[in-house]
Amino acid sequence: MASSNSDSPAGAGSSTRDQVPSSGSWSPDSWKTKNAAQQPTYSGDPGRLHSVVEQLSSLPPLVTSWEIESLKEQLADAALGHNFLLQGGDCAESFADCQPTFIANKLKILLQMSLVLVHASRKRVIRVGRMAGQYAKPRSADVETKGEVSLPSYRGDLVNQPGFDADSREPDPELLLRGYERAALTLNFTRALVDHGFADLHHPEYWDVSFVDHSPRATEYQQIVQSIGESVRFMETLAGDRMHEINRVDFFTSHEGLHLLYEQACTRQVPHREGWYNLSTHMPWIGMRTANLDGAHVEYFRGIRNPIGVKIGAATSPDDLLRLIDTLDPDAEPGRLTLIHRFGKDGLRAHLPPLLEAVKKEGRTLLWCCDPMHGNTITTQDGVKTRHFESILSELEQAFEVHEQCGSRLGGVHFELTGEDVTECIGGARGLGESDLGRAYHTQVDPRLNYEQALEMAMLIARRTGE
Ligand code: PEP
Ligand code: CO
């Protein structure tokens, strides 16, 4: 198996920290003065793209500034160790999967994982889905070649389609609207579920998916559910009343803020608040390939008021990181910045400590989150992208340990997962092997933990989250 972690470095080529980071006046489109990586090239009538962006700018928002500020407060508490962040969902959501079962199953697995984490850690868990807008993907190559044919790479359903033919791969501005609508449909259904009993701790059986009973971890999970049910009944008996607040949960959304015209169109001012909010999602993040200090993405992100994530990896130097922090969080606002590190199981011990030291020296308290997926991608001899459950677990365990050794704290985890019974990652209690990958390999881009693997992962890391 060959490694295929081709990342272009964050802040690559940048020099020292004394250089002035992006500063000065900002507007939702000031990113256009910078180099914008990973943007599609739309051919055809530029008027169509313009008109789509205008339409998007006038549509109602998907989220509110109240929710965004509430998430920011909760993330600030996570940075202090009081809460724990669970962020997860598809690598690339697809329009075709905007269906009730897929959405409900994804929500269920995230709720189940959070229940397991709360149970073990005795901390609140902040649930953030990579969903309702995770439609744009960065690619390591602009072009994909098969035999004699070269076509533009698939960049997510927001841009073009995965089929390997010229029509499918042509970027289409209308897809921006279709993506926004599907994000709205997904969020609408999710809100209806979580607000009206689906997440009710009196009825965690609602969260079970049909194959839960076959999971090697089913008994352990059912015991947790039972013990929580008993605690709830105990508290209600003591209080002599039903605990109404536990029939709903907070649920937030996030996506990679990659397609800057789309993000710009979703950036609004709201009454009675200062500044600009990206109202398409609660927590957008900057991907590894676009976290260039001098690039358009950092310029865009520095001006919005949302809590934001930044992916950092082996190529991020302490100096790069401090300059990114200065630029994106100049006022050291609690909850503003989440650093999502993804080094791979063989890179974490070497690369994480210098970054932790640098941030500590600055006296900054930021939220650190581990993405154990993107540094552990491998390609099988048959050319299939996969990840070993054991590599993912190993990076996570090392992350908890290294943070502790360095006097820091791992405050969150970031997974690519699905609530379905797919076979995309190998390993786990059921021992999926390479030969299983063909059976149910559906991801559009990166391999996801399936339902059982995700629940198992939560159980294996749960006790560490309380430390
Ligand atoms: C992703 O999160 O799907 C992704 C592309 O990650 P990264 O930017 O860390 O490579
Ligand atoms: Co991915």
Q: What's the whole-number mean pLDDT along residues 23-29?
A: 90
Residue 261 has pLDDT above 90, yes or no: yes
Please state, in angstroms and rounded to a whole number, the distance separating the CA atoms of residues 84 and 123: 7
Q: Which atom of ligand 1 is closest in space to residue 289's alpha carbon?
A: 8
Residue 429 lies in a domain: yes
Q: Which atom of ligand 1 is closest in space to residue 446's alpha carbon?
A: 3
Residue 309 lies in a domain: yes
What's the 243 CA to ligand 1 centre distance in angstroms? 40
Number of domains into which the chain is organized: 1
In CATH, what number is assigned to the domain containing residue 333?
3.20.20.70
Residue 35 lies in a domain: yes
| Domain assignment of residue 297, given as a range | 30-40+64-127+254-465
Using most ligand atoms within 8 A of CB, pick from 289, 339, 395 the residue to mutate for ligand 1. 289
Q: What does the pLDDT look like over 209-229, one tens digit per residue?
A: 665 667 777 788 888 888 887
Residue 25 lies in a domain: no
| Sign of the alpha-carbon torsion through 113, 336, 186, 167 | negative
Could you tell me the end-to-end alpha-carbon distance of the chain, in angstroms, rounded to an integer? Answer: 36
Pick the range with the lowest mean pLDDT from 108-122, 130-144, 219-233.
219-233
Nearest to 279 by CA among 261, 266, 262: 266
| Sign of the alpha-carbon torsion through 355, 357, 361, 365 | positive
Asked if 264 and 28 touch (Cβ cutoff 8 Å), the reply is: yes
Identify the residues whose C-beta falls under 6 Å from ligand 1.
7, 91, 138, 256, 287-289, 311, 342, 374, 446
Can you state the angle between helices 174-195 and 100-121, rounded to 10 degrees? Answer: 50
Residue 240 has pLDDT above 90, yes or no: no
Residue 459 has pLDDT above 60, yes or no: yes
Q: Which atom of ligand 1 is closest in space to residue 290's alpha carbon?
A: 8
Q: Is 449 helix (H, G, I), strand (E, B) or coil?
A: strand
Strands (E), 270-400: 276-278, 285-286, 308-312, 337-341, 367-370, 378-379, 385-386
> What secondary structure does DSSP assign to 385-426, as a single string?
EE-BHHHHHHHHHHHHHHHHHTT--EEEEEEEB-SS----SB
Q: Which atom of ligand 1 is closest in space to residue 92's alpha carbon?
A: 3
Q: Is 319 helix (H, G, I), strand (E, B) or coil?
A: helix
Residue 321 lies in a domain: yes
Pick the range with the lowest mean pLDDT from 3-12, 90-99, 184-193, 246-255.
3-12
For ligand 1, atom 3, the nearest C-alpha belongs to 91
Q: What percentage of the chain exceeds 70 in pLDDT?
A: 92
Pick the range with the lowest mean pLDDT from 9-18, 22-31, 294-303.
9-18
Using most ligand atoms within 8 A of CB, pick from 140, 371, 417 the residue to mutate for ligand 1. 371
β-pair partners for 340: 311, 369
Q: What does the pLDDT look like over 378-411, one tens digit per residue?
A: 999 999 999 999 999 999 999 999 999 999 999 9
For ligand 1, atom 4, the nearest C-alpha belongs to 287
**Helices (DSSP H) in 122-278: which residue ranges?**
166-169, 174-195, 218-239, 260-265
Query: What pLDDT shows up at residue 6?
Result: 37
Query: What pLDDT shows up at residue 213?
Result: 67
Please state, in angstroms and rounded to a whole number, the distance separating the CA atoms of residues 190 and 379: 34
pTM, full prediction: 0.93
Q: What does the pLDDT look like over 78-118, one tens digit per residue?
A: 999 999 999 999 999 999 999 999 999 999 999 989 999 99
For ligand 1, atom 9, the nearest C-alpha belongs to 288
β-pair type (124-130, 252-254): parallel
Q: What does the pLDDT look like over 300-338, one tens digit per residue?
A: 999 999 999 999 999 999 999 999 999 999 999 999 999
Residue 36 lies in a domain: yes
For ligand 1, atom 1, the nearest C-alpha belongs to 91
Q: What does the pLDDT look like over 347-385, one tens digit per residue?
A: 999 999 999 999 999 999 999 999 999 999 999 999 999
Residue 158 lies in a domain: no
Pick the range with the lowest mean pLDDT from 7-11, 95-99, 416-420, 429-433.
7-11
Mean pLDDT for the chain?
91
Written as six digits, the tokens of 263 are 């993000």
Query: What pLDDT shows up at residue 23?
Result: 66
Please state, in angstroms and rounded to a whole number, the distance separating the CA atoms of residues 51 and 58: 11
Ligand with smallest separation from the Cα of 134: 1
The 10 Å Cβ neighbour count of residue 229 is 15
Asked if 352 and 341 touch (Cβ cutoff 8 Å), the reply is: yes
